[in-house]
Amino acid sequence: MTPADDLRFPEALAAALSLPFDYDDGDGVDFEPFPAFLSAEETTDWFRSWTGNAELTGDSFRVFGRDGTGGYAAFWLVRPDRPLVDQPVVFLGSEGETGVVARDLGAFLWLLAGGYGPWEAATSYEPDWTPRRNQELTAVAERFAAAHRQPASTVVEQATGEFPHFDDTVMELCR
């Protein structure tokens, strides 16, 4: 696993997050990538604030972006002894929304290519919203995760199926 003090993104994530995400007045993807992972201290501060639990650390998350309201996208470090790219990607929204949106980085790349951001994959607040495939992100997914190709809906279905208790796990930490 990538040490917590290394704030650089894995190459595949850096390639995807270097591309623009167009919110398009609510018709696009609401995602603002960070230039690097949040530090361990910033992640701990955020997670304590988000949960209201001052006893926690943010050691289980590597935060790499947010939506416009301040919800965070992160790797959830739940698979012991596995590299960062094999950890699930989660969304923790500013209003308490939670969701596992991809089983690993390869699946996350296909989620992005399918026109979804972490918020769109984790929530269903906009029933009329329609994803728009992104050719540049498709090229990134093909370059780094060709063997993982799948529709965005399958990415989310597999992730939520593998981690059905994520919301309960996180809510138990809240005060």
Give the pLDDT confidence of 47-68 residue by residue, as tens digits. 999 999 999 999 999 999 999 8
Model confidence, pTM:
0.92
What's residue 4's pLDDT?
55
Rounded CA-CA distance 71/73 in Å is 7
What's residue 126's pLDDT?
67
**If DSSP codes are grouped into helix, strand and coil, which group holds residue 86?**
helix
pLDDT tens digits along 129-143: 788 889 999 999 999
Q: What long-range pairs does 124-130 form, CB within 8 A, spacing at least 24?
A: 126/26, 129/26, 129/27
What's residue 103's pLDDT?
97
Higher pLDDT, 69 or 111: 111
The DSSP code sequence of 20-68 is ----GGGTS---EE-SSPPPHHHHHHHHHHHHT-TT--STTEEEEEE-T
Is 2's pLDDT higher than 70? no
